[in-house]
Every structure is written in structure tokens, then in C-alpha cells.
Amino acid sequence: MKILCLVLFLAGTAAFVVSLWGTSFEKIQREAEEGKPTAQYKLGYMYMTGTDVPRDDAKAFFWFKKSAEQGFCAAQHYLGTMYIEGRGMKEDFALARQWLKKAAAQGYSPADRNLGCLYAEGKGGPKDIAAALEWFETAYRKGNKEGCERSAQLSGAR
């Protein structure tokens, strides 16, 4: 049974966007160009969602990658999801797994959930239901209730 996996935004996204409005685009862009990973992440997020700038997946991908390469876990997660969706570049599930694993290693539960989806569907590598269940359960242990729901769906489909 194919598990439908949608890449969802974080529950705290709305609060994050509100905090962006308190900082000018110019300041965030300047800090991003100076190499600050948090600003690079914010700029990528702004371009991905069209917050205060026109939506531009290529620019979002560019800034998320800059931030992700410096170890910023949220950027690693969003970069992985962009590879899953083929936004800003060609779809690449193997690279999605790599970036999501980096975010997961830092405790980022949405990455655990998305890795579970990739393993369950055999995208970016072999299908591995046992690994998928482990990723979903790890997400749940980190407070991501969707991990529990996905685990239950997958267990019922065995």
C-alpha cells in the first residue's frame, strides 16, 4: 500500500512569519549575504512562501542550501523537502534523504517524519518498512504526532 506523504510546514510557521515582519527584508538580505545561516534560512523561507517578496523557488533553494551547508537544521529540512517536490531544481529523492538525515540528526522531528515517508515509498533508495517505522516512531518520540499516525497507518498496511 502506498503511503501518501505530504510535506507539511511546521506547526510554528505562523509565529515565525509574524517575527519576520518585524525585520526588514533589506536587513535579512544583507545578513544572508554576509553568510549568517539564520538570515539565509529566513530569506529562503521568504522566497519559498512569498512572504514580503515574490515567490521564487530557485532563490529559496539557493538560500536554503547556503544555510544548510552551514548546519542549520531547519534549512536542511526544507532543502530536503524541495528535493522531494522538485521545487527550484530537479526532483532528487536520494539527495532529499541525505539532507533530511542531517536535519534529523540534530533532532528536527519533521525530518524524521519525511524520512519515514521516503523509506515507506522506496524513494531515494530501497523500500524499507522497518526503517520507515523507526523514523515515524522517532518523530513521535520527539513530539511530532503525525509520526504516530503514519506509523499506525503503515503497521496496519503490513
| Tens-place pLDDT, residues 104-144 | 999 998 999 999 999 999 999 999 999 999 998 898 888 87
Return d(Cα 102, Cα 121) in angstroms, integer: 20
Same domain for 76 and 117? Answer: no
Q: How does pLDDT run across 52-83, given as a tens digit for each residue?
A: 899 999 999 999 999 999 999 999 999 999 99
User: Pick the residue with more confidence: 35 or 157?
Assistant: 35
| Residue 80 within any structural domain of the chain | yes
Same domain assignment for residues 18 and 67: yes
Q: Comparing 3 with 116, which gets the higher pLDDT? A: 116
Q: What is the count of structural domains for the chain? A: 2
Is residue 88's pLDDT more than 90?
Answer: no
CA distances (Å), 38 to each of 7, 32, 93, 148, in order? 22, 8, 25, 30
Record the pTM. 0.81
CB of 62 closer than 8 Å to CB of 44? yes
pLDDT at 24: 85
The one-letter code for the residue type at 13 is T
29 assigned to some structural domain: yes
Assess if residue 35 is contained within a domain.
yes
What pLDDT does 146 receive? Answer: 67
Assess whether pLDDT exceeds 60 at residue 4: no
Per the prediction, the chain carries an average pLDDT of 84
Amino acid letter at 101?
Answer: K
Range of the domain at 115: 107-158
76 and 133 together in one domain? no
Does residue 98 fall inside a structural domain? no
Assess if residue 137 is contained within a domain. yes
Note whether 80 and 136 are same-domain residues.
no
